[in-house]
Structure 1
Amino acid sequence: ICIFLSLAIANRKQLNFIRINLKLSLIVSVLLVLFSLLYILRIENSDNLYDFDKMTEFYDIPSPQLTLLLLPFHLQSREAMGVSEVAIERIDEINKYIDSNMLFIQDLVTLLPGDQVSAGNVLGIVVNLNPNVSLTPGLLGGLYLSYGLIGIISGLFILGCLVQYVWKKYLLTNSPYYLTLVTITSAYIIELINRGFFKPMYLIVFLILRFCIRRVINEK
């Protein structure tokens, strides 16, 4: 949606292009509504999904209408810390499957031909003792497992520099392209903080954005 919006702004003088993007935006909006309806139906009719009322009672949450939205962040943080703690204790077991120094970028290796194991699956085997489970340690855990304390400091410094770079570029150029880049960068950094492992999609999404922008420039 951000890409379509930026392209529409950058080409606001081209009426045909705007009409096409309006149609695409309408299609995306309809799909989002349908997805939301299907999600609601799934929640209402599935016995396997977690019941929010049960969660509220189990954790004895005060004012759930205000705090329930924050509970997933709390639970994810607890899970990430627990997974990281056990993984650090069993680092030798991890090294039996892959080099722990490769754990943070192991998901990039899954693009190669052959039977490749993902970092989450390795943690599922080592931490949860279940090969069908994929676990995530959070960004701090992922960096520490592969590179130690230096990895945490270096990784957070690089992410901070990246955000600062794209934000300054947007302030200097006021370009819809850099606005889109700021939005996507922020979103995927949050995703990386949650997951803890560097995934191929973090690169692919920026390549797609670059390709779209070049197409627009060439059509002008």
Structure 2
Amino acid sequence: MYAFNLYLGAFVITNLLFSAKISSALPSFTRVRATKTGTFQLFMLTHVAISYATLALVMVTTGNIFLNQDLRFNIPAWMGYIIRSPLPIIPILYFLPYSQRRKFGIVAMISLPSILIGARGTVVSFVASYALLLTINLINNRRNRETIKKSVFRSKKFLKIFGGSFLAFFVTIASGFYIRRYNSQVWSSAGDMAREYFQSESIFVFIILPFYLAFKETTGLANQIINNNLALTSNIFFSDFYTLLPGSHDAAGKIFGDEVGRIGGGGLTPGIVGGLFLDYKYYGVLGMIILAAALSRSYAATIKHPKYAAVYAILIFQFIHLFHRGFPKPEYVTFTIIALFYTAFFLRKNHA
């Protein structure tokens, strides 16, 4: 608990210090608009077509990953990045002058390749970033009215946004969790786990089971790392970046799993506290300070330049993903670069 409080306290205090001089106003989207929508559509469709072509190649060479989730660990890292690369377009769509129905169809088209290779959590993070932009705009609209009869968080529109996002989050995560365990020769069935951990097979247990086991892994591994002062023969925190280099390089989660023991082909996720502590011990607190400073400064930049709000929303949820995973991925950087590209070329602030 001392280590957790130290790490998380450093993150919170740094955020408070940097946020003290930042305006409390939310970024206003009223003057942000899309330009060159025809060119945007051409770029987007080309980008998505490349993703689908890479997905087809993976399906032919690797197999049906959606029905056999363990096969996703056989996908070359660079191919996985290409398949997931259109996802940053999702929050950018918020600023496009398309109907909500059309946007929904584009989101589904963009998300499908990533879902089919088991990148469910990544898809959810981008849908959530879109929902965050909707929520910010809803709050701003309420604040601009002379009277606010009820909290924005109790409004029908917010409840629809929250409910729809939560449903998409649950269905995407839970479906992969249960498909992975269906007739698996490696993983315990959902029923066996419900009886083991909850001594119950009620519907409520099956709703929370995927999330319970994910968080149980993260906190349990971090606990073992800190209490046992676990250290590997070499630092692995940035090992995922080496997977892009020529030759064979294992991801950090896989290296960690090989050292401490694991079942199946996936890597282990000790969370950001466990991942930093594993390599840097208490010096890892500096990593939390750097992350907090980066997020705070990004928010300050978004207040001044609202057209970059989609990039900031992506950073928020990539940080949440990193917080749970524990080891940074190259696509945290590539996702940000792609979002910056689409924002810089196709969005502008209207001063008229």
Q: Structure 2 length as normaliser, TM-score?
A: 0.46
Say if 1:146 and 1:44 are closer, same or farther in 2 by CA, change over 3 A.
closer
Q: Which shifted more, 70-79 or 121-130? A: 70-79
Conserved? CA contact 1:124–1:131, under 8 Å: no
State the alpha-carbon separation in 2 of the partners of residues 114 and 89 from structure 1.
32
Who is 1:6 aligned against?
92
Deviation by residue 1:6-25 (Cα, 9 ceiling, x = unmatched): 3552x54xxxxx47x97464
Q: 2:108 is matched with which residue: 25, 29, 36?
A: 29
Which ranges of structure 2 fall in alignment gaps of 5 or more residues? 1-86, 117-170
Who is 2:218 aligned against?
80
Conserved? CA contact 2:88–2:339, under 8 Å: no
Matches within 5 A, 1:89-108: 91=231, 94-95=232-233, 99-100=234-235, 103-108=236-241
- Secondary structure class of the residue paired with 2:245: coil
Is 1:194 matched with 2:324? Answer: yes
- Secondary structure class of the residue paired with 2:237: helix
Is 1:211 matched with 2:341? Answer: yes
Conserved? CA contact 1:80–1:137, under 8 Å: yes
Deviation, structure 1 residue 165: 2.1
Say if 1:51 and 1:171 are closer, same or farther in 2 by CA, change over 3 A.
farther
Who is 1:57 aligned against?
195
Deviation, structure 1 residue 128: 0.4
Is 1:46 matched with 2:46? Answer: no
Conserved? CA contact 2:308–2:343, under 8 Å: yes
- Secondary structure class of the residue paired with 1:29: helix
Conserved? CA contact 1:6–1:177, under 8 Å: no
Which ranges of structure 1 fall in alignment gaps of 5 or more residues? 13-17
Q: 2:277 is matched with which residue: 122, 141, 144?
A: 144
Q: 2:268 is matched with which residue: 135, 138, 141?
A: 135
Bigger helix share: 1
Deviation, structure 1 residue 172: 3.7
Who is 1:177 aligned against?
308
Deviation, structure 1 residue 66: 5.7
Q: Which of 1 and 2 has higher RCO (CA within 8 Å, sep 6+)?
A: 2
Deviation, structure 1 residue 170: 3.0
Q: Which amino acid in the other structure matches residue 199 of structure 1?
A: K
- Secondary structure class of the residue paired with 1:135: coil
Aligned residues: 200
State the alpha-carbon separation in 2 of the partners of residues 44 and 138 from structure 1.
22
Q: Which shifted more, 54-63 or 190-199? A: 54-63
State the alpha-carbon separation in 1 of the partners of residues 101 and 90 from structure 2.
9
Q: Which amino acid in the other structure matches residue 46 of structure 1?
A: Y
Say if 1:176 and 1:67 are closer, same or farther in 2 by CA, change over 3 A.
farther
